[in-house]
Structure 1
Amino acid sequence: MKQFNQLLIIVFLVTISCSQEKKEIKTAIEENPSSLFKYWAWYGAGSNVADSIHSNQFKKYASSGIDAVLIDTRADADYLSKIAPLAIKEGLEVHAWMFTMNRPGDTTALKHPDWYMVSRSGKSCFDDRPYVDYYQWLSPSHPEARAHIWSLVEGLAKVEGIKSVHLDYIRYPDVFLPVGLLPKYNLVQNEELPDFDFDYSKASVEKFQKLFGKDITKAEVPAIDIEWKQFRLNEIKAVVDGAYDIAHKYGKDLTAAVFPYPEMADHMVRQRWDKWNIDAVLPMIYNNFYNEGLDWIEFASKQGLSDLKAKQTQLHTGLYLPEMTDDELVRAINIVKQSGASGVAFFAIQDSHFEVIKASQ
């Protein structure tokens, strides 16, 4: 009888302990929702696609444990209004993914050739594009181009039910490509080449000259002019900060897809994202683009977190899945979790990956 009573006491204490632990976890989550590790997926919502196809994809995401979906509707607020409810119905958090400085096929912008960035070699993105035909970059220094971008942000921010406006291509064209992509374009980039150094548009050159009293087109080596570099970093920051104010005006967050970590982004695409007003960044730590192993994902994630330590901005690591095996994806997700990131974002999920993602939670 004595042993039975002791057993009852032990069961009671264990029950109380478990109950208290669950209560503490619940309280911690309620007080700090960001403590939850979030799973994201980028989703290209192609035009003229039946609602049933979108719904089936969203069901697949949700059943695999995806929490948030970044939906590309080409910054079409009306189309987003149609697609977003389908994702929300499946319990997904919706983020409005938009191409920002790079605006391929933008019918409004194409009416204004002077809105586009120009390379140091004098080639305008309006009709002579670097690397690929869809690189049609607007100048952040042109006031009307900037206002156009902000109007697109506002349209998306007004859509009911979305969580954030998500900026992609919020930078200049690649001064330096990821080393793993250079063979594809038969390029050697050991210095800032004139064809890939932007923005020498009239709007940008004149604005810089007004601020600093220098005509950058006369500089013998523009790459060593630190004011010229900082000017361009600041021009992108101004676009982001303006978008942040607009998004928050409508009760939405601002998020962005960015290059792996700030110093690298600065060097490669004139993007210093640790200086921005922004709620969350999703650095695209696509290790295979840089001929790096999985351990580099941890390094780049931690470097970004270190650069953000004085800010409230969350960091969710982006992974490129087409070249990952199932085993590599398991390891990559664990690496991201151990890095201290707030979540992981997947680009181009392959069929076999869904089970891996689900099992990792």
Structure 2
Amino acid sequence: MGNLLNRGNVGMIMSCILLSVFMVSCNGGHKEEKETALLEKEESGPFKFWTWITADASRTDDSYVEEFAKYADNGIDAVLINTYTDPELLARLTPLALGMGLEVHAWMFTMNRPGDKIAEQHPEWYAVSRDGKSCYDEPPYVGYYKWLCPTRKESREHILSLVEGLSKVDGVASVHLDYIRYSDIFLPIGLLPKYNLQQEVEQPTYDFCYCEVCTSTFEKMHHKNPNDFDNPAIDMEWKNFRLNRVKAVVDASYEIAHKNGKKLTAAVFPYPEMADHMVRQRWDKWNIDAVLPMIYNQFYNEEIDWIGYATGQGVTDLEKRNVELHTGIYVPDMQPEELLSAMKYAQKNGAKGVSFFDGPAITEAQWKMIKDFKESKAK
């Protein structure tokens, strides 16, 4: 998200973590919990290493073979490839990665669809803020925030058709949903100065979706209209309505992926309670096979041990669910020793693996730390 970091588009750096801090990243609130972050939740079994990458169709096959070989040689087990939902490009790259011994996961931008030529022909598909601004022509925060409405039949079916196309590619292990949420209600505390913002309460500009389809559907169900609320933030039915709209897209994607012999995975916010509050995303209630929470401590002004805290929160919320959690780690600006600590905190707090954003950003010193840690676990 290029600080509204977008994982992987031209001019964008990364995805999905515009989170708020409301105030989980406040100093103090979880100090005691952080001090006990290294809980002995570590379980037996293999510890998996993933990385995200963005594809470029103009690159040669040989260049990809070289990149995939580097990942495999340094301990990576799985690669999440963003092909901008192009199944043909995914079909071209998948056998190259498989040939290097890597799993392949089809990473897709889900509710946020920048550059989607089909969606752009339908302005009515886009999410609308409480103050009446559509993401089609007035996106929040940054220009690539092109969020679709999860309730409208046509936009929902378009998204599911993209899941269908990716899930039919031979050799792919999962369809990996990113941006599977609403636009950020709050930004991470570390990003607020960049945008000269203060966000202590929900603001109309960042509160979605108030399109006619959403509000009328809700009114039929609950006999009240969100446009009439003095304080929409405290209406639990309205909040749950939107949580369930996202869940419905995930659950339908799960059915499609499994029908085609694939799993469903997702990049999500650090832990369910935080995701719920920040972006209407309650991922512990989804039908899904694995989640990769992006526990990017730098964006919340948190120390490395917060990775253990947030991992443990997610693992606890997934208890008795057949869903794996693999901790997402943001490697830029992270010292190799910090990366080692991050991996240890994730494993000690119950993660089944770690994923690094992103592959091309990993330094040689970091690769050595990853490889050494992987080899130490194999002994």
- Give the TM-score taking structure 2 as reference length: 0.85
Q: Following TM superposition, by how much is the alpha carbon of 1:350 offset from its aligned partner in structure 2, in angstroms?
A: 2.1
The equivalent residue for 1:360 is 373
Partner of 1:122: 132
Aligned to 2:363: 351
Structure 1 residue ranges (4+ consecutive) displaced by more than 3 angstroms after TM superposition: none
* Residues matched between the structures, number: 329
RMSD, matched Cα? 1.1
Alignment counterpart, residue 263 of structure 1, candidates 262, 273, 283? 273
State whether structure 2 residue 155 is matched by structure 1 residue 142. no
Residues 1-361 of structure 1: matches in 2 within 5 Å? 35-348=45-358, 349-352=361-364, 353-361=366-374
Measure the CA separation in 2 of the matches of 1:339 and 1:305: 8
Separation in 1 of the partners of 2:227 and 2:115?
29
Match of 1:18 in 2: none
Task: For residues 96-140 of structure 1, give each alpha carbon's deviation from its aligned partner in whole angstroms, at most 9, with x where no partner exists.
Answer: 000000000101111111100001111100011111111000000
TM-score of the aligned structures, taking structure 1 as reference length = 0.90
- The CA deviation at 1:144 is 0.7
Task: Specify every segment of 5 or more residues in structure 1 that has no aligned partner in the other structure, as ranges.
Answer: 1-32
Rounded to whole Å, the distance in 2 between the matches of 1:209 and 1:52 is 56
In structure 1, C-alpha distance between the alignment counterparts of 2:219 and 2:62, rounded to whole Å:
54
C-alpha distance in 2 between matches for 1:265 and 1:350: 27
C-alpha deviation, 1:74, in angstroms: 0.5
Distance 1:125 1:343 in 2: 35
Percent identity for Structure 1 against Structure 2: 58
Once the two structures are superposed, what CA deviation does each residue of 1:187-217 show, in whole Å capped at 9, x if it has no partner?
1000001110000111111111111111111
Structure having greater relative contact order (Cα 8 Å, sep ≥ 6): 2
The 3-state SS of whatever aligns with 1:282 is strand
Query: What letter corresponds to residue 332 of structure 1 in structure 2?
Result: A
Larger relative helix fraction: 1
**Kept after mapping to 2: 8 A contact 1:34/1:342:** no
Instruction: Tell me if the contact between 1:45 and 1:54 (Cα under 8 Å) persists in the aligned partners.
Output: no
Structure 2 runs not aligned, ≥5 long: 1-42, 375-379
SS of residue matched to 1:137: coil
Distance 1:110 1:164 in 2: 27
Q: 1:63 and 1:180 mapped to 2: Cα distance?
A: 35
Rg: which structure is higher?
A: 1
Encode CA deviations 1:165-204: one digit per residue, 9 max, x unaligned: 0000000000011111111111100000111000011111
The CA deviation at 1:34 is 8.8
Aligned equivalents of 1:127, 1:79: Cα separation in 2: 29
